Amino acid sequence: MSFVKTKDGTQIFYKDWGSGQPLFFHHGWPLSADDWDSQMMFFVNKGYRVIAHDRRGHGRSTQTSKGHDMDTYASDAAAVVTALELTNAIHIGHSTGGGEVARYVAKFSDGRASKAVLISAIPPLFMKTAEHPEGVPMEVIDGIRKGTAENRAQFYKDITIPFYGFNRPGAVVSEGIRENWWRQGMMGSAQAHFECVRVLSETPFYDDLKAINVPVLVMHGLDDQICPFEATGALSVKLLRQGTLKTYPGFPHGMPTTHADVINADLLAFIQS
């Protein structure tokens, strides 16, 4: 297994397959690099080098109780980029990983990133405030915290239903997809996942989005029950210097998995543009 040690001693697990232009994938809460398997298999077979890491406290990385803030998450990604000597990389983030991409490209990339993609992502701000009334109410966020702290085994089973839109009429439920989400979540630290809820919900990305000076594709499902489009993707693209928005009617939060064929084709078109 491959790891990079950060300045504070945390071991960050990563996958690194293939050769060619690097595509660096950043996963969502509370998952791992495995959540990108559909994309990594597709792109490695298209001649790209594909990299994905497990965020600290998630997956196979160190279950540390420290460093749970977006700057540290982005710095950890930068440590992997530096260790692998990646340049001209395209950074692709889903959900919380989209926030990580925004912070990394804005503050930590040192010119190594050539493009970025935010998929069903949390920027510019996940939670509802007086200035951001479209956001997710605090009582919903507190429910995520409570489920994570008190009975995450059951909570992680339950959340897969809205995550993948399996509660919609006519949806074909995949137990394999649900179990894989649960497997990834249960690999990580409950404490790290609990802290990450604060990070993903309370971190603002307005300045990050404004500072990014590379092309960014914002991809968002219009039936996203986790990161509502009007609170996140719709606002993010307005703040980007070189932002392009692509929306998907009826697609859920977990659309890179449920609609991998569509998402992969659109990613490829952006990467090659």
Which of 27, 58, 220, 253 is labelled catalytic? 253
Phi first, then psi: give them for residue 50, nearest 5 degrees.
Answer: -115, 130
Task: Give 109-132 pLDDT, tens digit per residue.
Answer: 999 999 999 999 999 999 999 999
Say what the pLDDT of residue 1 is.
78
Q: Degrees (nearest 5) of the Cα angle 229, 151, 127? A: 25
Q: Output DSSP code: residue 178.
A: H
Which of 95, 120, 189, 201 is labelled catalytic? 95
- 65 belongs to the catalytic site: no
pLDDT at 36 over 90: yes
- 253 belongs to the catalytic site: yes
Say what the pLDDT of residue 199 is.
98
CB 234 within 8 A of CB 120: no
% the chain with pLDDT above 90: 100
- 94 belongs to the catalytic site: no
The residue among 217, 240, 221, 242 whose CA lies nearest residue 230 is: 221
pLDDT at 150 over 90: yes
197: pLDDT confidence band, cut at 50, 70 and 90? Answer: very high
The stretch 67-78 carries a mean pLDDT of 98
Which of 26, 224, 236, 259 is labelled catalytic? 224
Say what the pLDDT of residue 210 is.
98
pTM, entire model:
0.98
Task: Give 225-270 pLDDT, tens digit per residue.
Answer: 999 999 999 999 999 999 999 999 999 999 999 999 999 999 999 9
Say what the pLDDT of residue 89 is.
98
Which domains, from first to last, does the chain contain?
2-272 (3.40.50.1820)
